[in-house]
Amino acid sequence: MSEERDILGQAIDAVKRQAADSAPPQEVVNKVLAQLPAAPVPAATPGASSIVPTPRRLSFVARWAAAAAVLLLAGYGVGRISAPRQPDIDELRAALLPSLAASLEPAIRQRVFEEATQGYQQAMVTGYVRLKDEFTEQYRADMDRFAVQIFAASNSVTNQLLTQLVGAVEKSQQQDRQWITTALEEIEAKRAAEATELGTALVRLAAHTETQFQRTNDIVRSLANTKPETTTPNTPQIETIN
Amino acid sequence: MQVYDWQAIVKDHGPAVWQTAYRLLGNRSDTADCFQETFLGALEISRAQSVRSMSGLLVRLATTRAIDKLRQRCRREKYQGIRQEASLAGQDEGDPSQHAETEELTLRLRVAIGQLPAQEAKAFCLRYFNEMSYREVARELEITTGTAGVLLHRAKTRLRATLEDERAEIDEVSP
C-alpha cells in the first residue's frame, strides 16, 4: 500500500517539479492582454443574467444610477430641511462629489462607450447604404446618358445611310429612265426610217408595175396587130382588144 | 462597486494559471491555448455574474480547460502522441536515466488523469496539484465536501491501479 502511495506521490511530485519553473511566455501574455479590456471594467451586478451588454442591461444600469442619484438628492433635501442651520453647500458638494463620481462614473463611461460604439456602427452602416445608393443612381444615370448618346449617334448614322441609299436609288432610276428614253427614241427613229424606206419601195414598186403594165400592154397591142401567115383551123384567132 | 483591472489580473494570476495548465498538458502549445481560453472565459463569466474569488475561478477554469484538452488528446493521439510531445520538456536535467524515468512517470500520470471521469479529474487536480483543501475543492466544483471526498478517493484508487498495472507491464517486459 505504501509502495502504491509512493508511485502516485512520486508522479504528483514529478509533475509539480516539471511545471515549477515554467512561466507564461511574454508573447502569449501580450496576446491575451490584447484580447482583454485595457481599461478597468466594473463587475457585473449579482442579478445580471446576460453576458453581452444589451439595451435592457444598459437601461437597468441607468435606472440604478438614476435611483442612486435620486436617493442621494432626496437625502440631501431631507437633511437640508431637517438641519437646524443652513449647511455649507460647498462642503456638502465636496463630500458628495467623490462618492457620486466613484459610483456613477464607471457605469456612465461604459454606457457612453457602448452608445458611441453603437452610434459609430449605425453611422457606418447608414453611410455605406447611402454611398451604395448614390453609386447605384450615378451608375444608372451614366448608363442612361450613354444609351441616349449611342441611340442619337446611331440615328444620325442611320439617317445618313438612308439618305445615301435613297439618292443611289433615285440616281439608278433616273439612269434607267434615260436608258429607256434613248432606247425608245432609237426605236422610233428606226421605225420612221423603215416607214420611209417602205414608202419609197412601194412608190418604186408602183412605178415599176406601171412600167411593166405599159410594156405588157404594148406587147399585147403589137401582137394584136400582127397577122400570122398560116392559120391552123384549131388555132383561135386573136382579136385585138381595141 | 467592484472593478476588474484585467491587465493586473493577468499579471498577478498568469503564472499560476500557466503552471496549472502546464502540469496537466506538458507542452507549451496546448498550454498557451488553455491560458488564453481561461482568461477569456473568466472575462465572460465576470460580465455575467459576480465573482467571489478570481484566483479560484481562474484555477478552476484552467483545470477544466486543461482536462478537456488532455481528454481530447488522449482520444485523438493515444499514448504515443502524448509521449512524443511531452518528452521534449525538461531535457536539461542531470541524470538521463532519472530524467527518462521521471518523464515516463509524468506521462503515465497525465494519461491516467485523461482517462478519469471529468469530475474526478478536476477534484484530483485541484486537491493535489493546486493544493486546495477539501472544502475549497467542494466550493469550486459546487458540490458538498462529502462528495468531494468520494470523488478524490475514487480518483486516487483509479490512478494507483493504472500506475501499478503499467509498472507491472514494464517490469514484465524489462529483463
- B159 close to A (CB below 8 A): yes
Q: Comparing A96-110, A131-145, B88-102, which segment has the lowest mean pLDDT?
A: B88-102
Is B70 part of a structural domain of the chain?
yes
Q: Please check whether residue A13 lies inside any domain of the structure.
A: no
For the cut 80, the answer to whether the pLDDT of residue B31 exceeds it is yes
In chain B, the number of structural domains is: 1
Range of the domain at B16: 6-173
Q: Quick check: B163 and A11 in contact, CB under 8 A?
A: yes
Domain of A107 in residue numbering reads as 51-172
Q: Is the pLDDT of residue A195 over 50?
A: yes
Count of structural domains within chain A: 1
Length, in residues, of chain B: 175
pLDDT surpassing 80 at residue B85: no
How high is the mean pLDDT of chain B? 83
**CA atoms of A75 and A158, how far apart (whole Å):** 92
| Residue A31 domain-assigned (yes or no) | no
Residue in B with minimal Cα distance to A6: B160
Residue A211 has pLDDT above 90, yes or no: yes
Most confident of B2-6, B95-99, B114-118: B114-118
**Mean pLDDT, rounded, for B80-84:** 48
Lowest average pLDDT, out of A56-70, B4-18, B138-152, goes to A56-70
State which residue of chain B sits closest to A18, comparing Cα positions: B90
Q: For residue B109, give the nearest of A15, A52, A103 by CB distance.
A: A15
Q: Do A14 and B32 touch (CB under 8 A)?
A: no
In a domain, A236, yes or no: no
pLDDT digit string (tens) for A41-71? 766 655 444 444 555 556 777 888 888 888 9
* A107 part of a folded domain: yes
Measured between CB atoms, which of B36, B50, B102 is closest to A44? B50
- In the structure grid, which three cell numbers stand for residue B126, read together? 485541484
Does residue A101 lie in a domain region? yes
Q: Is residue A117 a part of any domain in this protein? A: yes
Q: Which residues on A lie below 8 Å from B46 (Cβ)?
A: 41, 43-44
Model confidence at B88, pLDDT cuts 50, 70, 90, reads very low
In a domain, A58, yes or no: yes
DSSP string, A65-102: HHHHHHHHHHHHHHHHHH-SS---HHHHHHHHHHHHHH
Residue B70, number of CB atoms within 10 A of its CB: 25
Q: A36 vs B7: CB contact, 8 Å cut-off? A: yes
Which string of DSSP letters, residue by residue, matches B9-51? HHHHHHHHHHHHHHHHH-SHHHHHHHHHHHHHHHHHHHHHS--
**Nine-digit cell string for B98:** 532519472
**Rounded-to-integer distance, Cα A53 and Cα A113, Å:** 11
Least confident among A75-79, A229-233, B49-53:
A229-233
- Binned at pLDDT 50, 70 and 90, residue A38 comes out as confident
B142: domain CATH number? Answer: 1.10.10.10
What's the rounded Cα separation, in Å, for the pair B134 and B80?
34
Average per-residue pLDDT for chain A: 83
The answer to whether B148 and B137 are in contact (CB under 8 A) is yes
Confidence of residue A25 (pLDDT cuts 50, 70, 90): confident
Q: Which of A2, A3, A8, A103 would best serve as a mutation to test chain B binding (most B beta carbons within 10 A)?
A: A8
Size of interface A-B (CB pairs under 8 A): 130
Residue B132 grid coordinates: 486546495
Please indicate, yes or no, if residue B1 is contained in any of the structural domains: no
B88 domain residue, yes or no:
yes
Put simply, whether B1 touches A (Cβ < 8 Å) is yes
Residues 97-156 of B with CB under 8 A from A: 102, 105-106, 108-110, 128-129, 156
Report if residue A99 sits inside a domain.
Answer: yes
3-state class (DSSP) for residue B131: coil
Residue at B153 is within a domain: yes
